[in-house]
C-alpha cells in the first residue's frame, strides 16, 4: 500500500484533517483503505502520523533496554530513536496497519517505536564494545572474560528482539482476523484470563469460549502462514 509522503508537513489550524480527532481520522482511514481509495487513505494517514508525534515521544521515553536493570536510552539516543520511529510510522506503518481503532493504532505505533529504540540501543552497544576494545591494553588478563560477557549480552539482546518481532507478527495477524468475537477471546486468553472469567465478561458459556478459541486459533494459524515473508 503506502506511507505518507512528507514527514515535515504539519497541518495548519485551517487544515480540515488537522482539526479532526484521531478517532475520526482512523475511522475515515480504515474506510478509505478497505475500499482501495489510496489517495484519500494516504492523505488521512499523513494527518494521523502528525498527531502521533507526541505519543511516539512518550513511547521512546518509556523504552527500557532489554535485559538491563531498567536502563533507558540517553538523550541523544532518544532523539535518534524518535526520528527513526517517526519514519517507520510515516513510511511503513501505513502500509501494514489493518486496525480500525485508536487502541490498535497506538499498539502498532508502540511496536514501531520499540523496533526503532532497539536498533539504536543495539548500535550503541556495538559502538561501546568497539570503544572498550580500543582502550584495552594488549595482554589484559580480563580480555577473554570481557569478550565472553559482551558476546552473551549481545545474544541476550538479540533474543529479546526476536521475541518482540514474533509478538509483533502475532499482533498483526490478530488485527487481520475477520471475526471480532474470536479475536476477543484470544486476546483475553493471551492476557491469562481464565475461561470462566472470559465467559462471564462476554456473557457466554465456557463451552462457547472453547469453540471461539479453537476457531480463532485455526484462523490465526492461516493468517500467520499467509503472512508475507
When pLDDT is averaged across residues 209-217 and rounded to a whole number, the result is 92
pLDDT, average across residues 192-204: 88
Whether residue 227 sits in one domain with residue 137: no
Q: Give the tens place of pLDDT for each residue, 44-90.
A: 999 999 999 999 999 999 998 877 778 899 999 999 999 999 999 99
Encode pLDDT of 138-157 as tens digits: 555 555 555 556 666 666 66
Q: Do 192 and 228 belong to one domain?
A: yes
Cell numbers given for 135: 582502550
Q: Which of 131, 111, 120, 112 is nearest to 74 (CA)?
A: 120
pLDDT of residue 166: 72
For residues 67 and 169, state if they share a domain: yes
Q: Give pLDDT, residue 157.
A: 66
The pLDDT score that the predictor gives to residue 70 is 80
Q: Which pLDDT value is given to residue 227?
A: 56
State how far the Cα of 162 lies from the Cα of 165, in Å rounded to an integer: 5
Residues 116 and 61 in one domain: yes
Q: Indicate whether 226 and 139 sit together in one domain.
A: no
Same domain, yes or no: 82 and 138: yes
- Is residue 104 domain-shared with residue 138, that is, in the same domain? yes
- Output 49 or 220, whichever has higher pLDDT: 49
CA distance 177 to 101: 14
The pTM of the full predicted model, rounded to 2 decimals, is 0.59
**pLDDT at 173 > cutoff 50:** yes
* Together in a domain, 197 and 123: no
Per-residue confidence band for 210, with pLDDT thresholds at 50, 70 and 90: very high
Nearest partner of 209 among 192, 184, 190, judged by Cα: 184
Domain span at residue 226 reads 178-229
Same-domain pairing of 88 and 117? yes
Tally of structural domains, the chain: 2
Note whether 93 and 170 are same-domain residues.
yes
CA distance 167 to 27: 25
Which of 176, 196, 213 delimits the end of a domain? 176
Check whether residue 93 and residue 56 sit in a common domain. yes
pLDDT at 117 over 60: yes
Amino acid at each position: 500500500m503506502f506511507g505518507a509522503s512528507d514527514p515535515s508537513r504539519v497541518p495548519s489550524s485551517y487544515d480540515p484533517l488537522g482539526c479532526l480527532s484521531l478517532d475520526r481520522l482512523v475511522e475515515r482511514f480504515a474506510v478509505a483503505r478497505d475500499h482501495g481509495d489510496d489517495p484519500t487513505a494516504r492523505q488521512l494517514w499523513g494527518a494521523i502520523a502528525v498527531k502521533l508525534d507526541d505519543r511516539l515521544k512518550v513511547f521512546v521515553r518509556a523504552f527500557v533496554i532489554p535485559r538491563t536493570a531498567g536502563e533507558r536510552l540517553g538523550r541523544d539516543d532518544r532523539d535518534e530513536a524518535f526520528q527513526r520511529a517517526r519514519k517507520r510510522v510515516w513510511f511503513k506503518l501505513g502500509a501494514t496497519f489493518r486496525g480500525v481503532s485508536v487502541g490498535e493504532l497506538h499498539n502498532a505505533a508502540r511496536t514501531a517505536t520499540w523496533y526503532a529504540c532497539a536498533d539504536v540501543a543495539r548500535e550503541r552497544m556495538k559502538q561501546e564494545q568497539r570503544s572498550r576494545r580500543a582502550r584495552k591494553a594488549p595482554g589484559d588478563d580480563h580480555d577473554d572474560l570481557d569478550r565472553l560477557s559482551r558476546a552473551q549480552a549481545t545474544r541476550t539482546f538479540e533474543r529479546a528482539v526476536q521475541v518482540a518481532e514474533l509478538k509483533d507478527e502475532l499482533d498483526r495477524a490478530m488485527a487481520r482476523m475477520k471475526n471480532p468475537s474470536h479475536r476477543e477471546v484470544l486476546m483475553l486468553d493471551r492476557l491469562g484470563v481464565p475461561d470462566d472469567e472470559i465467559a462471564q465478561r462476554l456473557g457466554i458459556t465456557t463451552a462457547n469460549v472453547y469453540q471461539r478459541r479453537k476457531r480463532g486459533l485455526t484462523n490465526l494459524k492461516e493468517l500467520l502462514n499467509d503472512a508475507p515473508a
